[in-house]
Amino acid sequence: MTMSIIAKSALLSATLLLGASAVSAAELNIYTTREPGLVQPLLDAFTAATGTKVNTVFLKDGLVERVAAEGESSPADILMTVDAGNLVDLVEKGVTQPVESAVLTQSIPEQLRDAKGNWFALSMRARVVYAAKDLDLAALNYEDLADPKWKGKICIRSGQHPYNTALFADYIAHYGAEATEKWLAGIKDNLARKAAGGDRDGAKDIAGGICDIAIANSYYVGLMRSGKGGEEQAAWGNAIKVILPTFKDGGTQVNVSGAAVAKHAPNKAEAVKLLEYLVSDEAQKIYAQANFEYPVKPGAATDPIIASFGELKIDPKPLTEIVSHRKQASELVDKVGFDN
């Protein structure tokens, strides 16, 4: 009888121990607006490397609103999104917390992260120029886009699209609002068609002879040339060459995907470990392969298609400064009637 009680006691203790171990197993929760197909390979690789389980909630929109509504009870550890403006918005809405990490500060250039550690860029895309393959053009400054020699030769999507307001805001950061207004008016005068469509339409219209150059994002070229967009888009991608324009007193304008640790993260230590993993050589390579994005870590591998554009010189203006001019850039787009 005594042995039976001891045996039952031992079994109960073992069960409780196993239960406690299962509960305390490392895991973290991510809220993200990034497409599942882009994010999941990175998270799977992190779990394989660390054993940490990652629970993911994909949100098309409303990320800030959801986390704010959940308040202190929010299970979110990491908030992951695209566009520097969205990252800054997370901070301004008070749903992030600062992180101190030597790995992150050493791996990510200063202008691509929040000065107080509230968010960090994890991958980049550059705002580049697509040009007809036979066009005698090897280099270009953003300022040159307003030159009358391009009259009737430029294609671009809506000036109010975030891709473009980011570029225009960067121009304001360099030269001020008055100069930017004149520049935007000059580009509008040079348009071959109404500012509309998407970035890939710029390549399509170059192939169709509608325009000679187009302003668009770098990663679309990888998507087109790789065949991920089908044979028709592959033909568009192969009909153009890519030029990395720069500001005369700066570099090429970039935008980013990035992440922040949530203000009430229940698993902060694991969240920081994931961010540090995402700037490792392994993870940066996955970013490059999944969506043809530039790595933020200097020296990390870039996809061969993107590397063929030449060396990317990132504009040194801090993304937080550029974002502060977004509203003004949008107002100037309307003022000059850019999309009319």
By C-alpha distance, which of 69, 108, 58, 64 is closest to 86? Answer: 64
Residues 8, 13, 19, 22, CA torsion sign: negative
254, 257, 258, 264 alpha-carbon torsion, rounded to 10°: 140
Q: Is residue 219 a known part of a binding site?
A: yes
Q: Is residue 130 a known part of a binding site?
A: no
For residue 6, the number of C-alpha atoms closer than 13 Å in the C-beta half-sphere is 3
> Are 339 and 194 in contact, with CB atoms under 8 Å apart?
yes
Q: Is 30 helix (H, G, I), strand (E, B) or coil?
A: strand
> How many angstroms separate the Cα of 226 from the Cα of each of 13, 206, 222, 233, 243?
57, 19, 6, 9, 19
CA 155, 125, 89 angle in degrees (round to 5)? Answer: 100
Residue 185 tokens, joined: 């008016």
Q: In one letter, which amino acid is 237?
A: G
Give the annotated binding-site residues.
219-220
Give the annotated binding-site residues for Fe cation.
219-220
